[in-house]
Structure 1
Amino acid sequence: MSRVRRTLAATATLAVACATLTGCFEESSPHDAVRDFLVGWQTEDYELAADRTDGDQAAVRKALSDTKLELDAASFRFRITSLDVSGEESKADFHAEVDLGENNPLWEYDSVLPLHLVDGRWKVRWSPSVLHPQLKEGQRFAVETNPNGRQPVLDRTGESLQSDTYLYVAGVVPSAVGDRAEEVVKELSAVTGYAQDRLLSRIRSSPPDRFVPLVTFGRSRYQSMKAKLDGISGIETQSQKQPVDPDDPKQIVGRVSALTPETEQKLGGPQRAGDSVGQSGLQRAYQDYLTGSTETKVITLDLKTGKQVAELKQWPGRKNVSVKTTIDSQVQAAAEQAVNDTQISALVAVDRSTGEIRAVSTRGLHQEKDALAGRFPAGTAFSVVAADALLKAGVKTNQRLACPAERTVGGARFVTGQAAAQSATFQQNFAKGCVTALASLARRVDAGQLAKSAKAFGIGQSWRLPLKSFSGTLPELSGDADKARAIAGQTVEVSPLSMALVAAAVASGTWHPPVLVTEPASPDPSAEVAQVQQPDPVPLDPQVRTALTAMMRAGAAGTPAQAGTGKVYGVRATAGTQDKPMTWFVGWQGDLAVAVLARNYDAAAVAGGFFGALHAR
């Protein structure tokens, strides 16, 4: 909850508190003194509070006002727990709740108000211990904070997926600026846009001899602001090395920026000056895990020496942790090399046995929005899924099918660029992606069988990643034309990720939902994409899988995907329109399944480059 909202909540509670205090006490007792003092303190009516003490009025008002500043408190709330009267002496026990603001912890403690009669009127016997039992003369409160440095995003071996870079933190040492604090923060506020009162309260609530971070800058912004910052007497700038410069896959890892007035207000969380904020990718989805929360202490200081006297309360803060991904840096490097010569392409590689994502690489496309969450026509790459339904429906891999240049099925027209053939088998037509031959099989399978196979391969399933993703869609199928269009992949939308999982299912014999992050178990609750219950793995029919494996071995043979690096299985496919033609390669080699989508380039050549790069490492 933001500081403003918490203050408003405290004010709303106050009305109830005042009514309770007023209604319960009699005027001819110490109750009215207790009531007026605590209500005055709570509402910042320090004149009312001071009037019910026996101390110097100005000194009491200042002590109460300083307490709020020294704690940088958003609000105070009090509850009386008991009241004892013995002759002209009285004692009231009360419970205090101090909202330390900025989503810092709620400090609760119990204290005592000693009272006595002064000229027939009950008054609080004033001393600093009225504010807290451990506060003595010549002492003040302070809040000490120690933010934890940002943790890295890691690959599957525990290596960082970021390089260190520097952030620049401007701040002050309170004892060095002394009475000039207001002047200093006024100048800093004018330069940076941070609220002047927030900057000042941070200074006043901090130990005097500690550097107080006030504003954080990235490298470029710091360079542009350096002259102005250097012109503010009392401002010091410290550089902090943090693991925030993303390595590949950069858009999956995500960008990090320094905290700004806008992001600080928007987040309303444990962030303070000196922190960094995830702007995209996993850095954004796991922001609170990576930054953790600030260790906070309420302490008392000696006014003369500035040294700590006592620690009144400590909150260690939530521990920040690294985010461990399934990315394999070696596989990622091979993927980057494979797409390097293309203009528009996406490659996703997954572990065939687990669905763990090993690499995501793009050129001219976005790794998250396109490779994981893009909606692209499947084209004849969907024939892998359609073949599962057709084989279960009794179609044999050696069945002969003509591959004419044109064919009409149920009123839907299909055209292929393949040379006409009269005696090719189902497997051969699958291997070369003859859309007219494949579409002709629509009459051999019903819509329910196609939908069931699509679901078994994860198409349209409700799996989720901590980043945006798309599992695919298969439309409602009402006749032969609809079935033929689906078999040809014309009405099916998929992402490169969903097709990589299709290849992995055939390779391993079981479809698995994708995995990108292994630790922590789920992203921040506030992340745009919340983790959901993943669907269970789905085993393929063993006989169908055997047939599909042979078909995909034939599909990769003679294509650039083979690249002389051992056995490659897959299907080379076309999709898109005449204006925007695309090619797919969906297949596997060894433990890695891959889907490549390319425009104006042979996706099979990208896959071959990928497998070749892996063998060269």
Structure 2
Amino acid sequence: MKNRGRRRGTRRVPLRPIALGGGALTVCGLVIATMMPGARAEPSAMPAVRDFLIAWQVGNYDAAARQTVGSDREQVADALARVRQQLDAASLRLSLGTEVQGSGVDQIVKKGDEADARFTVKIDLGENGQPWEYPGLMHLRRVGGKWKVVWSPSIIHTKLKPGQRLAVVSEVPKRAAITDTRGRPVLQEVGAYNIGVYPGQLADPAKTLDQLAKQTKIDGGRRLDAERLLGRVRSAPPQDFLPLLTLQVPAHNALVRRLNAVPGLHLTPVRAPIAPAFAPELVGALGPATADRLQQVGAPYQPGDTIGVSGIQLLQQRRLAGTPTVRVVAQDETGKNTEELRSWEGLQPEAVQTTLDPGYQARADFALAELPYAASMVVVRPSTGEVLAASNHGTNGENRAFEGHYPPGLTFGIVSAEALFSQARLNQSTETSCPGSLTVGGKTFTNTARGDTTLANAFAASCKTTLAQLGAKLDGPALVREAAQFGIGKNWGLSVPAFTGSVPTPANDGDKAAVMVGEGGVEVSPLSMALVAAAAQNGSWRPPYVLKDIQKTVQAPPPQNLPSESIVNLKRVLSRTATRGNAHGARVSSGVVGVAALATSGGRTISWFVGSDGDDRAFAIAVEGTVNTNRLAVRFLTGRA
């Protein structure tokens, strides 16, 4: 390419980066004049270009304006200062020359008393999460023997015209649905308010947003970040409504009333699909992007965005919400004349399908609905590990169905009995005894005395002393390994938080006897016990899952096949318990088997029912108080009181 404007007797001098006022400006490929014999010295335009760019970069806008002609210097300084605000920029870097030009092309081209200089602008768009780099061009004129930058808005961007400003437009896609096992949305429309501002109408943006942040205490005191909100408002198109908050009513009625009194805020009533129709502790909630929540979900979400704040909504935030499309535009004050300068396409949201079955969920909710205590219930399909229902009653938003830590009591006898069948070679007809009191290793166990009986009958009669004394036939590590065969204490590879259980290795005979009866530090969740019931029914423990397509990408443990002979004996024991024993009250059909038990630990009592009804459903109920869990099982199995 031919070099334009190069005088005879000039040469190209490579220059190193020049630092000024704490900022660095890279100057490359610059053509400057040097004296040759008989030649007249000419002042170079480079110092004016350099000083202007460095001053702009480091934020010394007055100094940059002093390098210009053609406009009021205060207006120039103000225009340069507003670039960062209008883009909510985290940083701005300037360099002489452009990467698209080759080394043989002049970066400053002079023609008499006029010159053009090319430079590059690199902007980190901060909260908008995108880098932006583009070529710039400025015109210079020699005035009184000195080179000056001829001011024009096009210096900021070549397409920016007088009367225009830069703005950032974020187009947020519609959030995708969380669906049930049949692909139907599990969210229902509820009343809410969209709360936001018209940026150009705010008399004092900082004051309005500071009041918004102070008034907004959500979920234990979380607040919006006023400073980051201000950056977002300043970069938004001034004439368009900018939503900053969505609040569900009536839950946030008091906050809505307070915000309605804040000058500059606009509140619009809407109906939005943001509330779970069931299993809210698992499905999760939506809420505003407070400062601490943004640390969890990260860019490109911004203060005030509606994001997932718990459950699946939070865990699958990026998939459900996608990412916004970000556009940098030049526009006039009306916003009608808008030209796109750069855009970054976002990712489209994708629906998340769960394994939750509305029918089973409704029955589980019905079973727990009238209890005066906190309670949880999980239903799984034995042949697959699918979680069909997760119900929590009175748990203050906690998903104790998955994450509760409870002593299992004699429901753990399912595991202990299988260990006796597989390791000690006992069977359901093995003769044993059920004394009223038994001391093993310094620990005493009591129950109603039954005398001599079979293992199946002792199990059905809740004979704690029977299992405690039979523990002598097993070693401690073997008992822990058997529990692991039922998934207790293992990593399930589940895509949502869950407590898989804990079984301490017994240090002595007393500890081993305690573990046999579900005491001695043994802890489980309702989900882990529902899986135990499923394994007893199916003959194979399978890892649970609640997100259908996502589960395919998760490293879950393989199914654990239990010895077939042990399962035959275990099924007979559980059937005896349901027909003649502690689970007799739940026997609404011939397929129902299970165990009802009462567990105590640390001053609290947990009422359990753990069982199954054929291969369609295995379930576990845990109630934090003393209740008849057989009745609860009937309510679930029949759907009637």
Instruction: Give 1:210 shift.
Output: 2.3
Instruction: Give 1:284 shift.
Output: 3.2
- Paired with 1:504 and 1:132, the residues of 2 have a C-alpha distance of 66
The alignment partner of 1:571 has SS state of: strand
> 8 Å contact 2:166–2:329 — kept in the other structure?
yes
Compared CA separation, residues 145 and 586, structure 1 to 2 (3 A): same
- Paired with 1:196 and 1:407, the residues of 2 have a C-alpha distance of 66
For residues 439-471 of structure 1, the C-alpha deviation after alignment (integer angstroms, 9 at most, x for no partner) is 221222222321221111111112354443211
The alignment partner of 1:248 has SS state of: coil
From 66, 84, 107, the equivalent of 1:84 is 107
- Paired with 1:451 and 1:97, the residues of 2 have a C-alpha distance of 60
Deviation larger for 67-76 or 200-209: 200-209
For residues 545-569 of structure 1, the C-alpha deviation after alignment (integer angstroms, 9 at most, x for no partner) is 2222222222222434544234112
- Paired with 1:574 and 1:163, the residues of 2 have a C-alpha distance of 37
Q: Which AA in structure 2 matches 1:588?
A: S
Compared CA separation, residues 196 and 307, structure 1 to 2 (3 A): same
For residues 573-593 of structure 1, the C-alpha deviation after alignment (integer angstroms, 9 at most, x for no partner) is 332159644332222113111
Instruction: Give 1:165 shift.
Output: 1.9
1:604 aligns with 2:630: yes
From 212, 234, 239, the equivalent of 2:269 is 239
Instruction: Give 1:290 shift.
Output: 3.6
Give the match for residue 589 of structure 2.
Answer: 565
1:306 aligns with 2:322: no
Compared CA separation, residues 461 and 294, structure 1 to 2 (3 A): same
From 526, 544, 556, the equivalent of 1:496 is 526
Give the match for residue 71 of structure 1.
Answer: 87
1:257 aligns with 2:287: yes
Compared CA separation, residues 575 and 201, structure 1 to 2 (3 A): closer
- Paired with 1:323 and 1:509, the residues of 2 have a C-alpha distance of 30
Compared CA separation, residues 196 and 481, structure 1 to 2 (3 A): closer
- Paired with 2:370 and 2:20, the residues of 1 have a C-alpha distance of 67
Instruction: Give 1:279 shift.
Output: 3.7
Give the match for residue 31 of structure 1.
Answer: 46
Q: Which AA in structure 1 matches 2:88?
A: D
From 563, 579, 582, the equivalent of 1:541 is 563
For residues 219-252 of structure 1, the C-alpha deviation after alignment (integer angstroms, 9 at most, x for no partner) is 3587546677667776543233322223222222
Compared CA separation, residues 573 and 219, structure 1 to 2 (3 A): closer
Compared CA separation, residues 21 and 208, structure 1 to 2 (3 A): same
The alignment partner of 1:557 has SS state of: helix
> 8 Å contact 1:191–1:228 — kept in the other structure?
no
Q: Which AA in structure 2 matches 1:58?
A: E
Aligned residue-pair number: 588
Give the match for residue 408 of structure 1.
Answer: 439
Instruction: Give 1:352 shift.
Output: 0.9
Matches within 5 A, 1:327-476: 327-344=356-373, 345-365=375-395, 368-393=398-423, 394-417=425-448, 419-422=449-452, 424-476=453-505
The alignment partner of 1:494 has SS state of: coil
Instruction: Give 1:130 shift.
Output: 1.9
**TM-score with structure 2 setting the length:** 0.81
Instruction: Give 1:374 shift.
Output: 1.8
Instruction: Give 1:415 shift.
Output: 1.0
> 8 Å contact 1:336–1:362 — kept in the other structure?
yes
RMSD: 3.5
- Paired with 1:299 and 1:86, the residues of 2 have a C-alpha distance of 29
- Paired with 2:295 and 2:441, the residues of 1 have a C-alpha distance of 59
Q: Which AA in structure 1 matches 2:362?
A: A
For residues 124-171 of structure 1, the C-alpha deviation after alignment (integer angstroms, 9 at most, x for no partner) is 343332221222344332222222344443222222322212332344
**TM-score with structure 1 setting the length:** 0.84
> 8 Å contact 1:155–1:324 — kept in the other structure?
yes
- Paired with 2:427 and 2:70, the residues of 1 have a C-alpha distance of 99
- Paired with 1:460 and 1:41, the residues of 2 have a C-alpha distance of 60
The alignment partner of 1:207 has SS state of: coil
The alignment partner of 1:182 has SS state of: coil
The alignment partner of 2:77 has SS state of: helix
- Paired with 2:602 and 2:62, the residues of 1 have a C-alpha distance of 81
- Paired with 2:241 and 2:469, the residues of 1 have a C-alpha distance of 76
The alignment partner of 2:487 has SS state of: coil
Matches within 5 A, 1:168-207: 168-173=193-198, 177=201, 181-183=202-204, 186=207, 189-190=210-211, 193=214, 202=232, 204-207=234-237
- Paired with 2:46 and 2:585, the residues of 1 have a C-alpha distance of 87
1:111 aligns with 2:136: yes
Give the match for residue 280 of structure 1.
Answer: 310
The alignment partner of 2:343 has SS state of: strand
- Paired with 1:266 and 1:386, the residues of 2 have a C-alpha distance of 41
Instruction: Give 1:95 shift.
Output: 2.7
Deviation larger for 141-150 or 225-234: 225-234
Which ranges in structure 1 are unaligned for 5 or more consecutive residues? Answer: 1-12, 523-530
From 328, 339, 345, the equivalent of 1:316 is 345
> 8 Å contact 2:108–2:118 — kept in the other structure?
no
Matches within 5 A, 1:101-180: 101-115=126-140, 117-173=142-198, 177=201
1:41 aligns with 2:56: yes
Q: Which AA in structure 2 matches 1:589?
A: D
- Paired with 1:262 and 1:496, the residues of 2 have a C-alpha distance of 31
Instruction: Give 1:594 shift.
Output: 0.7
Compared CA separation, residues 128 and 521, structure 1 to 2 (3 A): farther
- Paired with 1:102 and 1:227, the residues of 2 have a C-alpha distance of 29
Q: Which AA in structure 2 matches 1:587?
A: G
- Paired with 1:283 and 1:489, the residues of 2 have a C-alpha distance of 35
Q: Which AA in structure 2 matches 1:404?
A: P
Instruction: Give 1:261 shift.
Output: 7.5
- Paired with 1:222 and 1:374, the residues of 2 have a C-alpha distance of 28
Specify which structure has the higher proportion of helix. Answer: 1
- Paired with 1:383 and 1:202, the residues of 2 have a C-alpha distance of 59
Deviation larger for 328-337 or 267-276: 267-276
> 8 Å contact 2:228–2:303 — kept in the other structure?
no
- Paired with 1:187 and 1:454, the residues of 2 have a C-alpha distance of 59
For residues 532-554 of structure 1, the C-alpha deviation after alignment (integer angstroms, 9 at most, x for no partner) is 84322211122222222222222
> 8 Å contact 1:113–1:125 — kept in the other structure?
yes
Deviation larger for 195-204 or 286-295: 195-204
Greater gyration radius: 2
- Paired with 1:569 and 1:517, the residues of 2 have a C-alpha distance of 28
1:514 aligns with 2:544: yes
> 8 Å contact 1:368–1:467 — kept in the other structure?
no
For residues 12-61 of structure 1, the C-alpha deviation after alignment (integer angstroms, 9 at most, x for no partner) is x9977527559999896443333222222222211222233343233422
- Paired with 1:256 and 1:333, the residues of 2 have a C-alpha distance of 22
1:18 aligns with 2:56: no
> 8 Å contact 2:110–2:116 — kept in the other structure?
no
- Paired with 2:314 and 2:578, the residues of 1 have a C-alpha distance of 39
For residues 478-527 of structure 1, the C-alpha deviation after alignment (integer angstroms, 9 at most, x for no partner) is 333222221111122111111111111122222122212235569xxxxx
> 8 Å contact 1:84–1:90 — kept in the other structure?
no
> 8 Å contact 2:579–2:587 — kept in the other structure?
no
- Paired with 1:379 and 1:226, the residues of 2 have a C-alpha distance of 47
From 589, 595, 600, the equivalent of 1:576 is 600
